[in-house]
Amino acid sequence: MRNPAPRETPGWMRGIYAGLCLYLFLSALNIMGAGLGSFGRESDALIRLFAYGENPFIALLGAVLVTMIVQSSSFTSALIVTLVATGEMTLGTAVFAIMGANIGTAVTGVIVALANLRIKRNFRRSFTAALMHDLFNIFTVAILFPLEWLTGAMHESGRGIFTRLAGWLADAVGLEEVARPDSPIKVITAPMVRGADWLGSVMMPTTLSQSLFMAALGLLLMFVALVFMVKNLRGALLRHMDGLFRTYFFRTDLRSYAVGVISTVLVQSSTITSSLMVPLAGAGVVRMRRVFPFMVGANLGTTVTSVLAASANPVAAAMTVALFHVLFNLIGSVIWYPLRRLPLKTANWYGRLAGRQPRYAFAFLIMIFLVIPLVGIGITEFIIGVR
């Protein structure tokens, strides 16, 4: 007698399960960010990375490294604005640090993709999606950095063309002062973050060790949440979501771009929205060609928070830096969407390579976000020392 087929889990139950996995994932990101942010505030090493901020190359690479460590471009941007406000960093150099923060914030997506290592096809898709976020920022910096640097060197004020444009916009906008709104994601995940903070204070003797404990706990929870989230997505929930995502949210590039902007404005974190896209792309819920416009839109959406925060800051340079951030992403969109075949083909090529041999994924992560910044800072410091 044939055994009856196992009953499929009801869709509503899978939806609740997916919601719990999503909540755990968002909580993990905020726990990790809180731990690393606290570590950054306690450690003078991060401040020292900007000590020679007059050198644009060091400002760029230092911001990449700082953002990679603290997993938050918002923290790095706030640090940059503070240094500008106190006169420790010039406005002309701060914009290069903003560029570096854009590159550094993309590391989270790569880490999220590594959770799919056990399933080659999912890992290839996830890593390719993460690369699209990385390559947009890297390619945009490759064009705007030399333009900003050269035009600044040729101008009497020492400020590049984009900094001058941002300054002009800052004068013209004249926004009312507003308080920075609380992120809804931070509000709903606050109990989990407080619980992790309490556990860290019980387990660890010092503030620094407590911060690192929280970061490690957040990373562990993130991987656990992703494993269960991907497993759930591969089941019946995928069939329901697939039609909704393909026929509505991500039907066209423009709609994908708009979803990226709006969702990031709502949660006030491109790290969260881009990291959520990685497992969705890995599970096949979102087509790869729609991932790129979504990532570009997410980059633009995160600048809204910077503008709101800067409008409450009485220092004019803060608004100029925030508007430069907006210009960076708008100009990047104008350049790379028409030329999207280049980042898409590059991401697909390297994604297939990493899918066959995962060591290439780790090599990319270590090289772009750690080795190049450290070596670049070291070489620049050596040259300055010789002079």
Please list the pLDDT of the chain residue by residue as tens digits (387 residues): 455 545 555 656 666 776 787 788 778 767 876 776 666 555 555 555 555 556 788 788 878 877 777 666 666 776 676 566 556 677 777 888 888 888 887 787 888 888 777 778 888 999 999 999 889 999 999 899 989 988 888 877 777 888 888 888 877 765 444 444 555 667 788 888 888 888 888 888 877 788 878 878 887 887 677 667 656 655 544 455 555 565 667 888 898 898 888 888 776 667 777 877 888 888 777 888 889 999 999 888 878 766 765 665 556 777 788 888 889 999 999 999 999 999 999 999 999 999 888 889 888 888 887 788 777 767 766 765 665
Beta carbons of 144 and 166 less than 8 angstroms apart:
no
Distance of alpha carbon 194 from alpha carbon 302, whole angstroms:
25
E strand or H helix that includes residue 42 = helix 11-42
Cβ atoms of 108 and 91 closer than 8 Å:
no
C-beta atoms surrounding 11 within 10 Å: 13
Torsion of CA 48, 50, 54, 60, to 10 degrees: 140
The structure tokens listed for 194 are 């407080």
Here the tokens at position 94 are 């701060």
CA 165 vs CA 97, 125, 159: distances in Å: 17, 38, 10
What distance, in Å, lies between the first and last C-alpha atoms of the chain?
A: 86
pLDDT of residue 171: 76
Tell which residue, 380, 363, 375, 383, has the closest CA to residue 65. Answer: 375
Residue that has been written with the tokens 């606290």 in this structure? 38
Q: What is the pLDDT of residue 282?
A: 83
How many C-beta neighbours within 10 Å does residue 15 have?
Answer: 14
Cβ atoms within 10 Å of 165's Cβ, excluding its own: 16
Instruction: Return the pLDDT at 136.
Output: 92
CB 331 within 8 A of CB 140: yes
Q: Taking the C-alpha atoms of 281, 285, 286 and 288 in order, what is their torsion angle to the nearest 10 degrees?
A: 50
Which residues, other chains included, contact 289 with Cβ-Cβ below 8 Å and sequence gap of 6+?
Answer: 253, 344
Among candidate residues 39, 30, 40, the one with its CA nearest the CA of residue 275:
30
pTM over 0.85: no
Q: What is the dihedral of CA 134, 140, 142, 148, to 10 degrees?
A: -140
How far apart (Å, rounded) are the C-alpha atoms in residues 212 and 197?
A: 11
268 conformational bin, left if phi > 0, alpha if psi -120 to 50, beta if neither: left
Strand, coil or helix: 261: helix
43 contacts: CB under 8 Å, gap ≥ 6: 208
